[in-house]
Amino acid sequence: MSFPILSSLILLPTIGALFLFFTKDKDGNNSTAKYVSLFTSIVNFLISIYLWISFDQSISDFQFVEDRLWIEGFINYKVGVDGISILFIILTTFITPLCIISVNNSVKNRLRDFLIAILIMESFMIGVFCALDLVVFYLFFEAGLIPMFLIIGIWGGPKRVYSAFKFFLYTLLGSVLMLVAIISIYWISGTTDVVKLYEIGIDTKYQNLLWLAFFSSFAVKTPMWPVHTWLPDAHVEAPTAGSVLLAAILLKMAGYGFIRFSLGLFPIASEVFTPLIYTLSVIAIIVTSFIALMQEDMKKLIAYSSVAHMGFVTLGIFTLQQQGIEGSIIQMISHGLVSAALFLCVGVVYDRMHSRMINSYGGIVVIIPKYSILFMLFTLAALGLPGTSGFIGEFLILMGAFRDNFLVAVLASLGVILGAAYMLWLYKRVVFGKLVNEDLKQMLDLNKSEYVILTCLAIPTLFFGFYPDPLINTIEVSVSDLINMHNINLASK
């Protein structure tokens, strides 16, 4: 058996966290802890890049598969990647070191514990994207609640307790039904191994209920309208690094789950429930865009824009077209980069002025020009300007949607316009305009670490905007295989 590269990806952050646990805080600013965690996460990133390079893009089978007996005669610990999951793994390992760098500026107390929580979170998130067994997936999916609960609750803002509870209970409530579905699948099909389930399929008469059970979990996590209300609260109260993890990666778990499980396991039910998804997605896109327009709080505005963007993602997934699904995946990656960057941008001004309210800013372009340029870039990427990665995703999704349902596509396109409206208006109110607040003159421009983080995020945003081929090549075979399988399943109904 070859080297267990995926398990080491999963385990390495946890081992790093264990090391951190034993580090002593000598000089009062935890520099050892910072370097250990940064080192761990960067090594993990390099491993995942190696994984991408050695990944064979021409076949749709799962690669680097590890299959070990775990619970006698019942569950195997099975992990593996295909073209879809590998991108999410890289996104995770890419965002985590940036989060760790960013804590320098935002987290003041109990830094070591914070880094431990982030590293453990990374382990769980990678686990979610690798898992090829439903129970293993559920394990990682749920386990992630613990560190995130603590991140919001310990290091969050004034209403952190309420937000942390809301986040935890909402997600748990959605997930328990998924657990019922997973165990039922075991009794119906005799296995929880995803690859085997792809082959043997699931009895048609159970599919609708099982699909709904999975949907209840993923809809909360995505989050889809109307169960999105935990997200703005969680985002607003979470510390910057927590918001970044939440927006960039946690939300993607559900989108990934929709592709991997809802589409893959329940093709007939997915067809049946497509109108439901379309309706909810379109409502999410339009309604939350309007809500975003009204926000006074920058973080809340970006949180609502996340809901709208995830509306595009779910829409694209259930178009069941090659372009739609590819677009959704790219949109998720792009949103991972852009929303992370936007939250970091808010974090930058928040660390200086301790206000997230839009009206306390204005005219800062003359004071902090570097920041304003980068903020501009990410604002444009968020509204999907051609040349940024956001455009590719939205464009492909809308293309897929037009092929499937004209009305939905038109309504979704409205969302693009609204997206441009609230993002540009946000930018205008914060960066341009008259300098009213005198305190703003004291603001310093980006320091070195912030500069590094935002540039690191800007490069892939632009690169994939002009040249999305590496992404598309990676996912193409897997997606087309998924759609073929889906069509075969439908035909054999």
Task: Name the minimum Å distance from CB 128 to another protein.
Answer: 12
Position 176 contacts another protein (CB under 8 A): yes
Task: Name the minimum Å distance from CB 72 to another protein.
Answer: 4
Task: Name the minimum Å distance from CB 285 to another protein.
Answer: 29
**How far is the C-alpha of 97 from the C-alpha of 87, rounded, in Å?**
16
Position 179 contacts another protein (CB under 8 A): yes
Position 71 contacts another protein (CB under 8 A): yes
Q: Pick the piece of the chain touching another protein (CB under 8 A) from 9-17, 165-173, 240-248, 443-451.
A: 165-173
Task: Name the minimum Å distance from CB 258 to another protein.
Answer: 21
Q: Pick the piece of the chain touching another protein (CB under 8 A) from 100-108, 152-160, 340-348, 416-424.
A: 152-160
Task: Name the minimum Å distance from CB 190 to another protein.
Answer: 12
**How far is the C-alpha of 442 from the C-alpha of 219, rounded, in Å?**
44
Task: Name the minimum Å distance from CB 464 to another protein.
Answer: 34
Task: Name the minimum Å distance from CB 22 to another protein.
Answer: 12
195 neighbors 132 (Cβ within 8 angstroms) = yes
**How far is the C-alpha of 67 from the C-alpha of 90, rounded, in Å?**
22
SS3 of the chain: the string is CCCCHHHHHHHHHHHHHHHHHCCCCCCCCCHHHHHHHHHHHHHHHHHHHHHHHCCCCCCCCCEEEEEEEEECCCEEEEEEECHHHHHHHHHHHHHHHHHHHHHHHHCCCCHHHHHHHHHHHHHHHHHHHHECEHHHHHHHHHHCHHHHHHHHHHHCCCCHHHHHHHHHHHHHHHHHHHHHHHHHHHHHHCCCEHHHHHHHCCCHHHHHHHHHHHHHHHHHHCCCCCCCCHHHHHHHHCCHHHHHHHHHHHHHHHHHHHHHHHHHHCHHHHHHHHHHHHHHHHHHHHHHHHHHHHCCEHHHHHHHHHHHHHHHHHHHHCCCCHHHHHHHHHHHHHHHHHHHHHHHHHHHHHHHHCCCEHHHCCCCCCCCHHHHHHHHHHHHHHCCCCCCHHHHHHHHHHHHHHHHCHHHHHHHHHHHHHHHHHHHHHHHHHHCCCCCCHHHHHCCCCCHHHHHHHHHHHHHHHHHHHCCHHHHHHHHHHHHHHHHHHHHHHHCC
Q: Which of 43, 47, 65, 145 binds another protein (CB under 8 A)?
A: 145
Position 62 contacts another protein (CB under 8 A): no
Residues 105-124 interacting with another protein (rule: CB under 8 A): 113
Buried-state track 311-339, b at ≥16 Cβ within 10 A, e below 16:
bbbbbbbbbbbbbbbbbbbbbbbbbbbbb
Task: Name the minimum Å distance from CB 435 to another protein.
Answer: 38
Position 258 contacts another protein (CB under 8 A): no
Position 432 contacts another protein (CB under 8 A): no
Closer by beta carbon to another protein, 183 or else 421: 183
Position 486 contacts another protein (CB under 8 A): no
Residues 228-257 interacting with another protein (rule: CB under 8 A): none
Position 173 contacts another protein (CB under 8 A): yes
Closer by beta carbon to another protein, 69 or else 357: 69
Position 14 contacts another protein (CB under 8 A): no
Q: Which of 42, 143, 421, 477 binds another protein (CB under 8 A)?
A: 143
Position 357 contacts another protein (CB under 8 A): no
Q: Pick the piece of the chain touching another protein (CB under 8 A) from 87-95, 166-174, 364-372, 423-431.
A: 166-174
Task: Name the minimum Å distance from CB 140 to another protein.
Answer: 8
Query: Residues in contact with another protein, total (CB under 8 A)?
Result: 33
Q: Which of 27, 72, 199, 438 binds another protein (CB under 8 A)?
A: 72
Task: Name the minimum Å distance from CB 17 to another protein.
Answer: 12
Closer by beta carbon to another protein, 254 or else 340: 254
Residues 183-222 interacting with another protein (rule: CB under 8 A): 183-184, 186-187
Task: Name the minimum Å distance from CB 467 to another protein.
Answer: 40
Q: Which spans of this chain sit near another protein (rule: CB under 8 A)?
A: 69-72, 113, 135, 138-140, 142-143, 145-146, 149-150, 153-154, 160-161, 164-165, 168-169, 172-173, 176-177, 179-180, 183-184, 186-187
